[in-house]
């Protein structure tokens, strides 16, 4: 199954590559990087990633949407949100990290569903769509095919939770041990909630 990573300028590096580290450990998954126009995309930290164009994607697999400063203007980009809506509808699973859930909320596909986001940007994200059941105290939230995580490093915990749900707990524990990571496997244990 493809893991389709949707990137944009000023994405948060750890949002993306924390989850990529976990999902890349699953042999059954193939990682692919996409952006609207393809080519090189820069993270907020200046990391350059070569991406394919969205039109070349098969989005029937797993979609990963990071957050970051780039989400601040993309939430108002109607063409981007329209493309994202189509991609999310085609995806078997949709995982967001940090303010990636802000982009997902703008598609209205989270309406009536539970979700979370970065606690430092929580009020802003909530203001974008009041029809989402925003959970303040959550490291990550699962509702149907949607997995949304809290701030930046929470994407690692969520990705391990996703692996546990889809492939099995033993596999998730094995991945965490292989990268010497102490996994917060309790999605309601959010030390950053206010």
Average pLDDT over residues 129-135: 97
Q: Which stretches of 37-168 are assigned E, i.e. beta strand?
A: 39-42, 48-53, 62-65, 93-96, 114-115, 133-134, 140-143, 146-149
**Is 142 a residue whose pLDDT tops 80?**
yes
pTM of the model: 0.96
Average pLDDT of 130-134? 97
Is the pLDDT at 146 greater than 90? The verdict is: yes
CATH number, domain 2-178, options 3.40.50.880, 2.60.40.10, 3.30.930.10, 3.40.50.970: 3.40.50.880
Where in the chain are the domains? 2-178
Mean pLDDT of 22-46: 96
Where residue 56 falls among pLDDT bands split at 50, 70, 90?
Answer: confident
């Amino acid at each position: 199954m493809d893991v389709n990573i949707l990137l944009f300028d000023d994405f948060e590096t750890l949002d993306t590559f924390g989850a990529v580290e976990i999902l890349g450990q699953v042999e059954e998954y193939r990682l692919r990087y996409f952006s609207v126009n393809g080519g090189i995309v820069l993270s907020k930290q200046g990391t350059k990633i070569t991406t394919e164009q969205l039109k070349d994607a098969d989005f029937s697999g797993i979609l990963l949407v990071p957050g970051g400063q780039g989400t601040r203007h993309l939430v108002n980009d109607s063409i981007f949100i329209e493309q994202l809506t189509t991609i999310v509808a085609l995806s078997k699973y949709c995982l967001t990290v940090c303010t990636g859930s802000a982009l997902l909320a703008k598609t209205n596909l989270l309406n009536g569903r539970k979700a979370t986001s970065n606690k430092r940007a929580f009020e802003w994200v909530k203001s974008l769509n009041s029809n989402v059941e925003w959970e303040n105290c959550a490291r990550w939230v699962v509702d149907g095919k949607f997995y949304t995580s809290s701030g930046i490093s929470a994407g690692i915990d969520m990705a391990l939770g996703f692996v546990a749900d889809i492939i099995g707990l033993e596999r998730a524990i094995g991945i965490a041990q292989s990268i010497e990571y102490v996994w917060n496997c309790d999605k309601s244990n959010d030390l950053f909630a206010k």
